[in-house]
Amino acid sequence: MKFKLYVLILYFLSSFVSQIFAQEDNSKGALPLRDYLLKIESVHKVKFSYSDLVVKSKYVKFDNSAKEISVILNQLREETSLNFEILKDRYIIISEHHLKNDYKLCGYIFDEKEGKAIEGANVLVKRLKRGVSSNSKGFFGLNDIIDSDSISISYVGYKSKVIPCKDFKKNKCVDIRLNKEITVLEEVLVSDYLSGGIDKQSDGAIVISPQKLGAISGLAEPDVLQTIQFLPGINSPSETAADLFIRGGTPEQNLILFDGIKMYNTSHLFGMISSFNPYIISDVKIYKSGTSSEYGNHISGVVDIETKKQIPNKIQGGLGVNMTHFDAFVNVPLGKKLGVVISGRRSLSDIFETPTFNNFSQKVFQNSVIGTNATFLGANFENENNFYFFDFNTKITYDLSHRDVITFNYLLVRNKLNYFFNTVNSDAYITRDFLNIRNTGWRLKWNHDWSTNTVQKTSIYSSEYDFSYNYEGEFNYDQPYTQNALKTNFIKDFGFKTTVETKTNDRTTFLAGYELVNNRVSYEIDRNSTRAGVNPGLYPLKNTADNNSHSLFFNYAYNNKSKTVLNLGVRANYFSLADETYLAPRLYMEQEIMPKWSLKTSYEYKQQVINQLLENHTSDFGLEDQIWVLIDNDELPVLRNHQYTLGAIYKSNKTIFDVDFYKKHSLGITSFTRGTVGSVPNLLQGTGEVDGVDILLKKSFGKYDSWINYSYARSTYKFDGANEGRAFPSNFDITNSFQWAHNLKLGNFSLSLALLYKTGTPFSLVDSITNNGAIVVKDLNSQRLPDYHRVDFSSSYEFSFDKYKRWKGRIGVSLLNIYDRTNILDRSYRVMSNNSEFKAQTVDNLSLGFTPNVVLRLFLK
């Protein structure tokens, strides 16, 4: 029945796509400039920005859309007498020339090394957002400027320059020299993949630029990890930002990097908010398959986050507040070659509580000691919950020379909770819980341009994860006694990495590199009690392990104007704990088979030596019951994963249809992971299988975008010693997931609405309870919870405070789960004892109810 439903959905989507494609404009011959620009956008994957009045009466006589973009722009400049300025990220601004003979300032633009004049360089007045192009002698002239203005000079293949107008000499033109751009920028294969600010690159990665995003349904402001969940094949069954299940892989199998620093804690408020400030982030690169050989020690997806790289010519910054936290950031130039970015965020919960924070807290603490104790509060018991989080980031950029750039990053992410519960006006019953989670890291990076075609990137980095939980209990009645519990988990990564990238011609790029990483992981678990007759058992449990990973990697990239795209790589990993070398081949390929249609395929084989396992020794508290451990080559082997994909993509200026069939096969899976927690009582080794398909259909109508995501996935595990050796669904197997989203831009308003529907997660039925209180279940995960669905809405409005539009503001509103649907996220059981009789009690983890949020932001640009 499920297979028939899946076929019907595919049939419906394919029929819908066929009708859309039949409406595409196939007109040929002489075109109005507007139509010609749409054609260029489709062929060269660029984006034009212009006023309709500027292009309304312009026509193009000759079709040169198949030629290089620089040739096309020169032709258009001659035919239309318009100015075409190429910005970064392949955006082109079209404006009219406004030149007079008596220029207020002027200059000549030359190549730094060869000294030749640069024709067609774009000179933009940043305040006016318009400018001119240099002529055949490199000359340009500008009027209508003021002393506080600055100009941006850019040209394809050269590094851009920003120059304050006050640096120009009166009545004399200035010589300006540009250096050739060395770094090979990744080609954009599909721009506006979902909406503005979300693109698809030629290596298969999806790139999100938070600064370009409009309203995101359910979010008052951009959240990096929440936004990723709009991509097909990425789910969060727990309804949190941190738990990213990418094509059936569990969250600890993902590699998440922040400026090259590996993150082991990626969230605040126990997963509800990501720990990354979106306002200092330049872009986020996401790989679901065909991952570049640069990335190692993971077997699922990659999330690579990079903060702002450019040194501004003026101070920039911003601050904001919503109903969970406030934040501020500043980007300061300390001269022309030195700049620093500083940002910080902090929760508001210990200052005042809001409805949003209370809803988040109710969800997080619902099945913990805090939630249970809340039912006893009143005349006899009282509690105090002190919780807060903050994060701090800084980045220093130094342009040492025209060939060398040095950057230094530092980050600190912290969550802290102190919880007290006791009898009123008495010390008869006192418990204290202290929980502290801290992730710190730093990176020092040096980029050196060896030539116009070769760049080397070298970095050293460190990441530390420090988790500690302490429980203290005092019971001063009958026979007084005390209880104590302790759990610590510490990780320290230290690494060195260097890569050399060279572009041999316009189509081919080679990359080679070496990476050394030392992982040191330790944990300790202890419990004790002074109560008579209580045996401490095997405590304390502790372990410390070290692993050195040596990796060599190579990558070959070929791009024939996006008609043939090939990324072929291999990574050789030596893990000291396993004392073995593994090869990790990678492949991503797209081939155009007809105009606008391409076939694509990928393959990857990956290994991982660090993992997260459930521990039930301190699970009484109900939060953070997992620990990070390294392999031991016995019960915990090296994790390995193969992934194969085959798909097709259709792309035009208004329509995108993308489909991927995939299969994943994992080895070395253990039964104490998130996918099997509570299902298998013993630590076993087994395999995992995921079969699925991801489908995206997007259509644009001017300022309105609508897209449908559909994912079908079947995730199963198999252990010889469990479920009679038969495969069973993983705990977070979501067979069908459907999302229909709408984005609308109306002037300064952005509106977003989305419907999310997905199959309920599986659970097991209780068969019996043994004499010692152990639960025996029937067939593992043979039942399903009710289906999950909700509707979210967001809107934002931007405005300016001054005529120069340097000071801007934004007001945003989000409504999560508009119709207040109660969804059951997962189901487990706890054993209750009554007069030596054991009973199983059902424990349901419920979703967020209706949750509003409001944000107010100020920007200085």
Exposure on the CB side of residue 238, measured as CA atoms within 13 A:
18
- Return the structure tokens found at 697: 């259909």
Q: What DSSP letter does each residue of 266-329 carry, written as one string? A: -EETTTTEESS-GGGEEEEEEESSS--TT--S-SS-EEEEEE--PPPSS-EEEEEE-SSEEEEE
State both tokens at 414: 């912290």
**Residues 134, 713: Cα–Cα separation, whole Å:** 55
Full-model pTM? 0.82
Beta-carbon contacts of 394 under 8 Å, excluding residues fewer than 6 positions away, are: 340, 341, 342, 343, 409, 410, 411
Q: What sign does the dihedral 190-192-193-197 (CA atoms) show?
A: positive
Strand, coil or helix: 364: helix
593 CB burial (10 A radius; 0-12, 13-18, 19+): exposed
Task: List Cβ neighbours of 101 (8 Å cut-off, separation of 6 or more).
Answer: none
What is the SS3 assignment for 4?
helix
- The residues with which 268 forms a beta bridge, in sequence order, are 273
Question: What is the Cα–Cα distance from 153 to 174, expressed in whole angstroms?
Answer: 13
Provide the sign of the torsion angle of the four alpha carbons 816, 817, 820, 825, taken in this order.
negative
Give the CATH superfamily of 191-307.
TonB-dependent receptor, plug domain (2.170.130.10)
Strands (E), 43-144: 47-49, 59-60, 82-86, 91-96, 105-111, 122-125, 130-133, 139-142
Q: Which of 346, 330, 485, 171 has its CA nearest to residue 859?
A: 330
Please report, for residues 281, 313, 342, 860, the alpha-carbon distance to residue 807 in angstroms, rounded to integers and kept in the order given. 20, 16, 19, 5
DSSP 359: H
Using an 8 Å Cβ cutoff, are 464 and 453 in contact? no
**Confidence at residue 108, expressed as pLDDT on a 0 to 100 scale:** 85
Query: Which residues, including other chains, have CB under 8 Å from residue 91's CB and lie 6 or more apart?
Result: 46, 47, 48, 49
Closest CA to 760 of 785, 735, 782, 728: 785
**Which token pair is 343?**
């940002």
Residues with Cβ < 8 Å from 19, sequence gap 6 or more?
Answer: none
Q: What CATH fold (topology level) applies to the domain 30-178?
A: Immunoglobulin-like (2.60.40)
Residues comprising the chain, all counted: 861
Q: What angle do CA 649, 654, 656 make, to 5 degrees?
A: 20
**Structure-block tokens of residue 651:** 């792309």
At residue 171, the pLDDT reads 58
How do the domains of the chain map onto residue ranges?
A: 30-178, 191-307, 316-860
Spatial distance between the Cα atoms of 331 and 211, rounded to a whole number of angstroms: 14
| 198-201/188-190 β-pairing | antiparallel
Is beta strand 91-96 parallel, antiparallel or unpaired with respect to 47-49?
Answer: parallel
Residue 829 to residue 763: CA distance in whole angstroms: 10
Low-confidence ranges of the chain (pLDDT < 50): 1-28, 99-101, 183-185
Q: Which residue, chain included where needed, has tokens 């203290």? A: 472
79 near 61, Cβ under 8 Å?
yes
Which amino acid, one-letter code, is at 340? V
Return the pLDDT at 634: 84
Say if domain 316-860 classifies as CATH 2.40.170.20: yes
How far apart (Å, rounded) are the C-alpha atoms in residues 730 and 612? 16
Strands (E), 195-236: 198-201, 206-208, 234-235
Max CA pair span of the chain: 100
CA 128 to chain centre: 34
Q: Which helix (H) or strand (E) holds 250?
A: none
Q: Can you tell me whether residue 494 is helix, strand or coil?
A: strand
Phi-psi region of 801 (alpha: psi -120 to 50; beta: other; left: phi over 0): alpha
Name residues whose C-beta falls within 8 Å of residue 594's C-beta, 6 or more positions apart in sequence.
none
**CA atoms 419, 424, 429, 430: torsion sign:** positive
Cβ-based neighbours of 681, under 8 Å, separated by 6 or more: 774
Measured CA to CA in angstroms, residue 610 lies from 493, 773, 813 at distances of 11, 33, 40
CB proximity list for 479: less than 8 A, separation 6 or greater: 531, 532
Cα(439)–Cα(491) distance, integer angstroms: 9
Indicate the residue type of 804: Y
Q: Do the domains 316-860 and 30-178 match in fold?
A: no
**Whose CA is closest to 733, among 668, 780, 790, 789?**
780
Where b means 16+ CB within 10 Å and e means fewer, 705-722 reads bbbbbbbbbbbbbbbeeb
Ramachandran quadrant class, 151 (left: phi over 0; alpha: psi -120 to 50; beta: rest):
beta
Cβ atoms of 434 and 470 closer than 8 Å: yes
What tokens appear for 272 in the block?
A: 């509800």
Q: At 657, is the secondary structure helix, strand, or coil?
A: strand
Chain-centroid distance, C-alpha 444: 22
| Rounded Cα distance, 160 and 152, in Å | 7
Cis status of the peptide bond prior to 540, with omega within 30 of 0: yes
On the CB side of 63, CA atoms within 13 Å amount to 13
E strands in 632-733: 639-651, 655-670, 685-701, 704-719, 728-729
Residue with tokens 């040169």: 64
